[in-house]
């Protein structure tokens, strides 16, 4: 599906629908008249096949306790195998109501209070929250950025800090939000090898892996070196980011290692924890079965929005650094040469009228940056760029 067809068929107004992004601005931005480009969901309806499957299930009318449909495993495994060559097994699969909730469960399961847990910043801020809220010690290794805003891992720093701080667990974002990287198999091998040598377990958050915007190939941590590291890691992902289904509360925890799985199951039994939502599974299954064309429409729309923003901003202000978008629909922009980092937040909110994610939310390394959600209509993106450019002209006059 091309961009025009996708936008015409799927774009939807979300204001006044209890949307966090549109109707929940006040608590984070202290204003409710900003154009929202923050929370990572989209202004597009889920694939028609998913809506039809949900409608049918809802019309059945009984919502008693449910199993994971066999068709769900079949559809998800086929999707992962055909698109990325990932081999999965039913016994590895556990379900959650969200990836962040699973991250918190896994941090408490895989480490002890005060243990050190590492992240590579700038990174999705709930990673830091689940570490701190579980009373673990946060260890940060900053990614290295070149002058074009291309980010790589600092392996020497990671190795040194793993040793010095006795790190027990690393939470990896792959592909990486907010710096848009699809980590190559070589980069993942180098990192996973360091973790193995230092006896550091890994959680690989792969929720963005369907949102590939360039030619880079996505490699799951489960597939690196033909599965060599898979006993040392847990993968979390979900259909929710890909197909705009976050509120349907269905996510995956993939555990190949039988000992870790047994510990995970014991914890779940103890907590009497719920294992996802049938509506999330019905919608997810239909999307994996029939959502490929929808996804190509979303990707084309995001890429076109990205090119537009990049072109407009860097033509007017060549000193703005726009990071390459290999994956995710989240654009990472270094504004530090045009607006002083300490003025940036007020400038974006009060002068440009935008609600974005601010760089320092992702760690000190993000200071001076903004993250813009591109998974919205071209009309919203044009409005945002025009407000930003007028605000910059006024600000610099
Ligand atoms: C890396 C990453 N993990 C997890 C999530 C959220 O997942 P969930 O809504 O399933 O908790 C996001 C949302 O932006 C994300 O970027």
* ∠ CA 193-197-203, rounded to 5°: 60
- As a whole-number percent, the residues of the chain with pLDDT over 90 amount to 95
Is the domain of 97 the same as that of 230?
yes
258-279 confidence digits (pLDDT tens): 999 999 999 987 776 666 789 9
d(CA 119, CA 104): 14
Using the structure block, give the residue that is written with the tokens 């014991």: 266
For position 274, what pLDDT does the model report?
62
d(CA 328, CA 2): 18
For ligand 1, say whether the CB of 358 is within 6 Å of any of its atoms: no
Q: Among candidates 168, 143, 86, which has minimal Cα distance to 323?
A: 143
Count of domains for the chain? 2
Is the domain of 327 the same as that of 255?
no
Ligand 1 centre distance from Cα of residue 375 (Å): 15
Average pLDDT over residues 357-369: 98
Q: Would you say residue 238 lies in a domain?
A: yes
Average pLDDT over residues 83-97: 96
Task: Flag whether pLDDT at 255 surpasses 80.
Answer: yes
Of 21, 124, 253, best ligand 1 pocket probe by most atoms within 8 Å of the beta carbon? 124
Is the domain of 199 the same as that of 307?
no
Average pLDDT over residues 236-248: 98
Q: Would you say residue 303 lies in a domain?
A: yes
Average pLDDT over residues 62-84: 95
* Pairing mode, strands 116-121 and 167-173: parallel
For ligand 1, say whether the CB of 100 is within 6 Å of any of its atoms: yes
* ∠ CA 331-146-137, rounded to 5°: 75
Atom of ligand 1 nearest to the CA of 328: 16
Atom of ligand 1 nearest to the CA of 39: 14
Average pLDDT over residues 67-90: 97
Is the domain of 92 the same as that of 39?
no
For ligand 1, say whether the CB of 124 is within 6 Å of any of its atoms: yes
Task: Identify the CATH number of the domain in which residue 372 sits.
Answer: 3.90.1150.10
Is the domain of 256 the same as that of 312?
no
For position 131, what pLDDT does the model report?
98
For position 33, what pLDDT does the model report?
94
Task: Determine how many CB atoms are found less than 10 A away from the CB of residue 263.
Answer: 14
- As a whole-number percent, the residues of the chain with pLDDT over 70 amount to 98
Look up residue 372 and give its two tokens.
């813009």
Task: Identify the CATH number of the domain in which residue 71 sits.
Answer: 3.40.640.10
Q: Would you say residue 113 lies in a domain?
A: yes
Q: Whose C-alpha lies nearest to ligand 1, atom 7?
A: 99
For ligand 1, say whether the CB of 246 is within 6 Å of any of its atoms: yes
Query: Could you check whether the bond before residue 175 is cis, i.e. omega within 30 degrees of 0?
Result: yes
**Domain range spanning residue 331?**
3-47+292-396
Q: Which of 269, 290, 311 is the C-terminal boundary of a domain?
A: 290
Q: Among candidates 83, 94, 90, which has minimal Cα distance to 219?
A: 83
Q: Would you say residue 55 lies in a domain?
A: no
Is the domain of 23 the same as that of 65?
no
Is the domain of 87 the same as that of 215?
yes
Q: Would you say residue 41 lies in a domain?
A: yes
**Whole-number average pLDDT of the chain:** 96
Q: Which of 240, 256, 290 is the C-terminal boundary of a domain?
A: 290
For ligand 1, say whether the CB of 255 is within 6 Å of any of its atoms: no
Is the domain of 113 the same as that of 13?
no
d(CA 298, CA 303): 9
Is the domain of 31 the same as that of 127?
no
Is the domain of 241 the same as that of 133?
yes
Give the 3-state secondary structure of residue 55: helix
Q: How many residues does the chain have?
A: 397
Average pLDDT over residues 20-38: 96
310-353 confidence digits (pLDDT tens): 999 999 999 999 999 999 999 999 999 999 999 999 999 999 99
Task: Determine how many CB atoms are found less than 10 A away from the CB of residue 231.
Answer: 14
For ligand 1, say whether the CB of 98 is within 6 Å of any of its atoms: yes
For ligand 1, say whether the CB of 251 is within 6 Å of any of its atoms: yes
The H or E element containing residue 245 is none
For ligand 1, say whether the CB of 205 is within 6 Å of any of its atoms: yes
Is the domain of 234 the same as that of 301?
no
For position 273, what pLDDT does the model report?
64
Q: Would you say residue 127 lies in a domain?
A: yes
CB 307 within 8 A of CB 378: no
125-147 confidence digits (pLDDT tens): 999 999 999 999 999 999 999 99
For ligand 1, say whether the CB of 300 is within 6 Å of any of its atoms: no
Task: Determine how many CB atoms are found less than 10 A away from the CB of residue 301.
Answer: 27
Q: Which of 290, 323, 352 is the C-terminal boundary of a domain?
A: 290
């Amino acid at each position: 599906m091309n961009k025009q067809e996708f936008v015409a068929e799927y774009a939807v107004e979300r204001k006044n629908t209890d949307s966090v992004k549109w109707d929940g601005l006040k608590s984070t931005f202290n204003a409710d008249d900003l154009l929202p480009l923050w929370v990572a969901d989209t202004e597009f309806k889920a694939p028609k096949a998913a809506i039809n499957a949900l409608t049918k299930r809802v019309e059945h009318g009984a919502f008693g306790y449910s199993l994971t449909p066999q068709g769900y495993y079949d559809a998800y495994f086929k999707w992962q195998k055909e698109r990325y060559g990932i081999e999965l097994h039913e016994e590895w699969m556990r379900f959650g109501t969200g990836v962040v909730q699973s991250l918190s469960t896994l941090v408490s399961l895989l480490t002890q209070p005060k243990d050190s847990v590492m992240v590579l910043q700038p990174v999705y801020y709930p990673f830091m929250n689940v570490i701190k809220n579980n009373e673990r010690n946060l260890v940060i290794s900053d990614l290295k950025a070149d002058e074009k805003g291309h980010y790589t891992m600092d392996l020497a720093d990671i190795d040194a800090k793993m040793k010095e701080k006795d790190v027990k667990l690393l939470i990896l974002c792959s592909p990486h939000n907010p710096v848009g990287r699809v980590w190559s198999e070589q980069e993942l091998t180098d990192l996973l090898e360091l973790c193995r040598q230092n006896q550091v377990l890994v959680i690989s958050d792969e929720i963005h892996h369907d949102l590939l915007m360039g030619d880079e190939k996505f490699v799951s941590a489960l597939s690196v070196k033909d599965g060599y590291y898979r006993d040392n890691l847990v993968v979390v992902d979900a259909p929710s980011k890909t197909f705009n289904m976050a509120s349907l509360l269905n996510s995956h925890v993939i555990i190949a290692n039988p000992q870790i799985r047994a510990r995970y199951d014991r914890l779940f039994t103890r907590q009497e924890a719920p294992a996802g939502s049938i509506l999330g599974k019905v919608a997810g299954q239909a999307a994996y079965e029939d959502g490929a064309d929808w996804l190509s429409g979303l990707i084309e729309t995001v890429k076109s929005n990205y090119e537009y923003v990049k072109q407009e901003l860097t033509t007017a202000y060549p000193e703005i650094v726009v990071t390459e978008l290999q994956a995710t629909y989240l654009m990472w922009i270094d504004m530090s040469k045009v607006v002083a980092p300490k003025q940036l937040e007020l400038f974006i909110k009060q002068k440009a009228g935008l609600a974005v994610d601010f760089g320092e939310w992702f760690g000190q390394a993000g200071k001076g940056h903004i993250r813009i959600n591109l998974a919205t209509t071209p009309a919203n993106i044009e409005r945002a760029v025009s407000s930003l450019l007028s605000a910059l002209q006024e600000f610099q006059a």
